[in-house]
Amino acid sequence: MSTVMKTTRDVKGIGLSIPRPDAPDKVTGQVQYVADLNPKGLLHAKLLRSPHAHAKIVRIDVSRARALPGVRAVLTAADIPQLKKKAPTRAHAVLAIDRVVFAGQPIAAVAADEVAIAEEALDLIDVQYEVLPVAADPLESMKPGAPPVAELGTEADTSEALAHGSVAGVTTEAKPAKAVNISQQARLQRGDVAKAFAESDVVIENTYRVPMVHQGYMEPHAVLAQWESSGNLTLWASTQGSFNTRSEVADVLELPENRIKVIPMECGGGFGGKIRALCEPITAVLARATNRPVRYVMTRREELEAGMPAPQVIIKMKTGVKRDGTLMALEAEAILESGAFSGAVLAVAGVFLASLYLWPNFDVKGFEVLTHKPSIAAYRAPVAPQTIFAIDSQMEQIARKLGVDSVEYRLRYLQREGDKMANNQPWLSNGGAEVLARLAEHPHWKKRAEWKASSPKGKLRGTGISLGGWLGGLQPTGATVRLNPDGSLQVLTGQVDIAGTNIALAQIAATAYGVDIDKVKITTGDTDVAPMTGLSAGSKTTYTVGVAVMQAAENARNQTLEIAAKELEASVHDLEIEDGKVVVRGVPDKGVTLASIGKKGNLYMSKVEPVLGTSHPAFSVQAPAFCAQLARIEVDPDTGEVTLHDFVVAQDVGKAINPLQIEGQMQGGAVQSLGMALTEALLYDDKAKLTNPSLLDYRKLTSADLPKIETIIVEKPAPHGPFGARGVGEPPIVPAPAAIANAIEDATGVRLTHLPLSPERIALAIAAKS
Amino acid sequence: MPKQVLSCTVNDEAAEVLVQPWDTLLDALRERMGLTGPKEGCGTGDCGACTIHFDGKPVASCLLLAMQARGHVVRTIEGLGKPGALHPVQEAFVKHGVPQCGFCIPGVVMAAAALLNENPHPTEEEIRYGIAGNLCRCTGYTKMLAAITEAAGAGAGRRS
């Protein structure tokens, strides 16, 4: 993943809309993803997956599969001594041992000369199951006596929450009470809720429900594993964090981390779904068993049936306000269905519910509940779209009931910098109010009455707005910046570029060092060579790695100036870098070229130290980022069909390092948000089996469903961000479900609280009302 | 089952390759001919990532058996343009910053190039429907529409 920037000379660094340098390779199909790798001797892996959501494995017989010509290995749990029954995470549950806990759970693994042979071998594995009762619905699964999901004594997994680094000050309790499938619970309280409800004039109560959805990355999970005879393992991975993948694989397979090299290939989309290890351990085991390179590529069906989707979130919410609008009390119970393994970011849900608006009294309970479904993972701003759907829908309904402007109402009670969040941490500098105010100035919002009045015969038009955000993640990182003998710069990080961040980082290096962007090459190194770094997740790559690159570039700049100062017999403070030269300020013809300094750093017998800027920072201050979205829609009340006419996204990015890439993030995030709002749901039957395991039936939005997404970039600098930048990736996926539900109420007068807002739901709700 | 010989034209050159009778055209291109530009996003014709030109028409290569290509003319993204000599659709995709993860892009580019061949001056609505068979999870399609509109203006459709 190396990139060289080529542009014209009239460029510098930050603030420019520059296409990704790998774009030409992407539009010509030259970029390599894991599935494109085809080393000599390659074997193909396939996994036998359970057809039952909950069953005892009575017997497995692989003898017929092993005998098939072209099959090189067939493994079950019995062949992998590292496997333990109380698997704390999905990655540890490499193959089921004696019980399966979701439909699609791997039971046996095959490596063969061809994919078709491996598939045939799966058919030859005989498994005898004893089918067990299933916990398919989280509300039922919470009750005492529900069929247990986890092995007794399994610890709750809160590492996802830690990985996202999003919330401080909330502790979640594992394994409470007698309800066997409640794996975490949390509670946030302030004030006297009962008294405040008694004093409220307007009390609104709703249950919001957001189904499991899939992250929908276009490249399915894929990995290629190969061992050297020395015992070193190389993994070519599609991952959002190569160091995290290395740690997880090392832990599962009980290997020293420095024996594993993870090479991050181009990641064909992740959105949170490629943070945790999934198929890497089993592929590594197959490669060891066969002593051949083994490639495993999940099918789309496997992705949908046995990926790591977003949790189903059910939120029971009650709010009370005074007739003059004064917020009194919020009561909420959030249930996060995390499937067969614990790992939901429960605390984030609680904090979001009670921290966006100024509730003086609140009581928010959160439960993570296990069911016999695939375990969940992060999905772009995990649980923020679901919780904001609830709280923003509620704010809109309150404003309507009070007969006040809903934007004005939100702004009146929005928590600002310094206000105490539900976890008692103060809100940090953010542009929440600014993005909502900017969107409220948009002609589409100002003319919402005209839009409603313009409804053609038989159609209903409406406008909706919503505000949501993300707290911003943090994780230590590192970067180096080298000066080459020709005066060009070489930036190295270990950060996987899943969002166009490498060009932004190169722009930061260019500006911080003082050269044009076309002099900077940035490389994402593998885990053997790159400075250790965190996940590309939590909207933190530019915010944190950007700081490392900026500091490393400044460090390299200072080293360069010191070398030049000696040569020019001038003070460092009088020097600057201009047009590839270090010059004495005010004496433009007195200078030394960067190339000559770079050259001396690699000259035989030279006494000049090579320029190597480094930085390896850790962080403590997050940068919350907010996004407001506006939808203008038309509803057909007979069919319930929603036509999106206009969609506007206003987002605070702190400082737009590369506006072109940022627009792309805002538009793409908005469309994922709209998909969650309108069409997407993983649908399970009462045996917890997925009923829509294809992209025909799991309906993502296409270009034919959507208007052009308009973007408004707002820049309220983040005090600790590189050049003021804050995270961009996650906020745009947050607001659309509420914006669409608000628009539907504006158009039709019905309030919908269950996603997706499908034609069927809308038509039935309208019919029920009239 | 014995392998079969697939003879066809791929990216303007005569190709002869051994395939399994159950290989899809996508398998043959990717695994037997090393043309990994077309991607497998679903294998069921729903996502469009494997879109190629088959006798000039855009098709999902995962839905054809390899042997169905015998005697036909196949063009993959590798045969459309190269870095330095990009097709106008590719040029516009770069300029407008369309590609993010990039996995869907070869399919979208092939669909768009085929659209402009057939309809050199499409309306925005026609572009929308022209690439509606291609799922993209990163971009929200907005920049794709702008890029294809610009490529149409630049006369992409007049190239063969």
For residue B142, which residues of chain A lie inside 8 Å, CB to CB?
667, 706, 708-709
The tokens describing B19, both together, are 């395939």
pLDDT of residue A158: 65
Q: Which amino acid is at A571?
A: S
CB contact under 8 A, A664 and B83: no
Residue A338 contacts residue A321 (beta carbons within 8 Å): no
CB contact under 8 A, A703 and B94: no
Choose the mutation target among B104, B129, B142 for the interface with A, i.e. most A CBs under 10 Å: B142
User: Which residues 136-195 of A have a C-beta within 8 angstroms of B?
Assistant: none
Q: What angle is formed at CA A135 by the lines to CA A130 and CA A138, rounded to 5 degrees?
A: 165
Say if CB A366 and CB A348 are below 8 A apart: no
A708 touches chain B (CB under 8 A): yes
Look at residue A342 in the predicted model and tell me its pLDDT: 93
What pLDDT does residue A254 have? 96
Measure the CA–CA gap between A416 and A431, rounded to whole angstroms: 9
Look at A220 and B41 and tell me if their CB atoms are within 8 Å: yes
Q: How far apart are CA B58 and CA A75, in angstroms?
A: 41
Q: How far apart are CA B144 and CA A640, in angstroms?
A: 29
Residue of A nearest to B141 (CA): A703
Sheet holding A625-635, edge to edge: A460-470, A625-635, A642-652, A709-714
Cα dist from A402 to A323, A360, A453, whole Å: 7, 19, 22
B76 is written with which tokens? 């993959």
Contact flag B47-A498 (C-beta cutoff 8 Å) = no
A642 — phi, psi (to 5°)? -105, 125
B106 close to B78: Cβ distance less than 8 angstroms = no
DSSP tag of B41: S
3-state secondary structure of A115: helix
pLDDT tens, residue by residue, B88-143: 999 999 999 999 999 999 999 999 999 999 999 999 999 999 999 999 999 999 99
Distance CA B108, CA B111 (A): 5
Helices (H), A61-206: 63-66, 115-123, 138-141, 159-164, 193-198
Q: Fill in the amino acid letter for A386.
A: Q
Across the interface, do B86 and A220 touch by the CB < 8 Å criterion? no
A27, A238, A671, best to mutate vs chain B, most B CBs in 10 Å: A27
Residue A717 near residue B158 (C-beta atoms within 8 A): no
Q: Which positions in chain A touch B76 (Cβ < 8 Å)? A: 29
d(CA A143, CA A139): 7
What chain B residue is nearest to A648 in terms of C-alpha separation?
B142
Residue A187 CB partners (closer than 8 Å, separation 6+): A350, A363, A364, A365, A366
Chain A residues whose CB is inside 8 A of the B1 CB are none
Could you tell me the sign of the dihedral formed by the alpha carbons of A559, A563, A569, A575, in that order? negative
* Whole-number pLDDT of residue B154: 77
Residue A88's pLDDT is what?
84
Query: How many other CB atoms are there within 10 angstroms of residue A549's CB atom?
Result: 35
Ranges in chain A, pLDDT < 70 = 1-11, 153, 155-178
Chain B positions in Cβ-Cβ contact with residue A694 (cut-off 8 Å)? 42, 44, 46
pTM: 0.96
Q: How far is CA A384 from CA A502, A627, B113, in A?
A: 26, 12, 39
**Residues 6+ away with beta carbon under 8 Å from A566:** none
Do the Cβ atoms of B94 and A23 come within 8 Å? yes
CA distances from A301 to A49, A135, A312, A611, B44 (A): 12, 22, 20, 51, 10
Residues 6+ apart with CB under 8 A from A524: A1, A264, A493, A494, A495, A496, A497, A502, A530
Q: Where are the beta strands (DSSP E) in A675-757?
A: 709-714
Judge: A27–B37 Cβ closer than 8 Å, yes or no: no
* DSSP strand pairing (B57-60 vs B51-54): antiparallel
What is the side-by-side strand order in the sheet with A99-100? A99-100, A55-61, A126-131
Distance CA A293, CA A728 (A): 38
SS3 A75: strand
Cα-based distances in Å from A698 to A377, A692, B130:
18, 6, 21
Cα gap A36→A58, rounded to integer Å:
38
The residue of chain B with its CA nearest to that of A670 is B140
pLDDT of residue A4: 39
Q: Which residues pair with A461 in a beta bridge?
A: A634
Of A32, A219, A709, the CB nearest to B101: A219
Min Cα separation B54/chain A (Å): 18
CA angle centred on A313, ends A311 and A315, rounded to 5°: 165
Instruction: Flag if B83 and A667 touch (Cβ within 8 Å).
Output: no
Helix (H, G, I), strand (E, B) or coil at A220: coil
